[in-house]
């Protein structure tokens, strides 16, 4: 079949590992992958939430606690997926934080900068490294990462976070060129603002004391595209495309999912 694969089962028989999968984009993607035939290992630093999410997603979801800033944890998560399923087809390095960095760089404690880099950049590098040690002998695999529109255009009060996401886009392009000879594709997705615990915490910095529902609406109202807002499912759909054979010749790409927002800047 040389056409687009049918909608059901686009990841039939595939094994995926997703970091930051207890919540938000990672959880929505895990659910999407499972409904398309994959078995998914969910890795997250939040153990209780991760276990509950895996339970909610059913028997094709398994949870392993993992702090992506700890290389041994990432290595263990890859080995866990391997011990359960004997292979790894998709590695989605999605975990990331913003860490309440202060709006002004003058107030920046560089320890916070290091913390964000350790998770958002070092964690992604560790994920690519340990997925590659499985995928290179397999001679196949699809590696995904979550970057951000702030990695494409910067953003107000985003000095630390933006640097980390520029780095993710850079790693993806470098790794795509290194790993192509093994049949491994490497891509990232740059989402626009979506109300998740991550972005709601971020908004709280600017509007302290505002209730969650109001913050969610404020995030949705940032959308430039009339009649549509950015939701976790939009990122899960992008991840499904990039992970699947529909994107078999797409590598080194940053898929911006922003309803045209970056085109205005």
Catalytic residues: 161
Does residue 158 touch ligand NAD according to CB under 6 A? no
Does residue 144 touch ligand NAD according to CB under 6 A? no
Does residue 234 touch ligand NAD according to CB under 6 A? no
Cβ closest to ligand NAD, residue 26 vs residue 259? 26
Q: How far is the CB of 238 from ligand NAD (least distance, A)?
A: 12
Distance in angstroms (rounded) separating the CA atoms of residues 92 and 42: 10
Contact 255, 45 (CB under 8 A): no
Does residue 19 touch ligand NAD according to CB under 6 A? yes
Which residues are bridge partners to 188 per DSSP? 145, 254
Distance in angstroms (rounded) separating the CA atoms of residues 142 and 14: 10
Site stretch for ligand NAD (CB under 6 A), options 30-38, 60-68, 105-113, 177-185: 60-68
Does residue 259 touch ligand NAD according to CB under 6 A? no
Q: How far is the CB of 4 from ligand NAD (least distance, A)?
A: 27
Distance in angstroms (rounded) separating the CA atoms of residues 221 and 198: 17
In this chain, which of 38, 97, 131, 167 binds ligand NAD, going by CB under 6 A?
A: 97
Residues that bind ligand NAD (CB under 6 A): 19-20, 22-26, 44-46, 66-69, 94-97, 119, 146, 148, 191, 193-194, 196-199
């Amino acid at each position: 079949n040389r056409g687009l694969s049918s909608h059901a089962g686009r990841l039939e028989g595939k094994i995926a590992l997703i970091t930051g999968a207890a919540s938000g984009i990672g959880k929505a993607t895990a659910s999407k992958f499972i409904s398309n035939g994959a078995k998914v290992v969910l890795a997250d630093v939040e153990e209780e939430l991760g276990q509950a999410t895996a339970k909610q997603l059913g028997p094709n979801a398994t949870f392993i606690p993992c702090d992506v800033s700890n290389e041994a944890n990432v290595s263990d998560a890859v080995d866990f997926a391997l011990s359960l399923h004997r292979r790894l087809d998709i590695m989605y390095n999605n975990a990331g934080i913003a860490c309440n960095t202060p709006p002004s760089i003058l107030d920046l404690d560089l320890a916070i900068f290091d913390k964000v880099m350790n998770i958002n950049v070092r964690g992604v590098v560790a994920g690519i490294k340990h997925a590659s040690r499985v995928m290179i002998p397999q001679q196949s695999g699809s590696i995904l990462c979550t970057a951000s529109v702030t990695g494409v255009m910067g953003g107000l009060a985003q000095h630390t976070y933006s640097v980390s996401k520029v780095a993710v886009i850079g790693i993806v392009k470098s790794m795509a060129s290194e790993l192509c000879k093994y049949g491994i594709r490497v891509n990232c997705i740059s989402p626009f603002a979506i109300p998740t615990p991550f972005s709601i915490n971020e908004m709280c910095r600017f509007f302290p004391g505002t209730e969650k529902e109001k913050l969610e609406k404020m995030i949705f109202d940032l959308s430039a595209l009339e009649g549509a807002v950015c939701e976790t499912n939009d990122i899960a759909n992008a991840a499904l495309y990039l992970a699947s054979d529909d994107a078999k010749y797409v590598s080194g790409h940053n898929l911006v999912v922003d309803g045209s927002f970056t085109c205005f800047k």
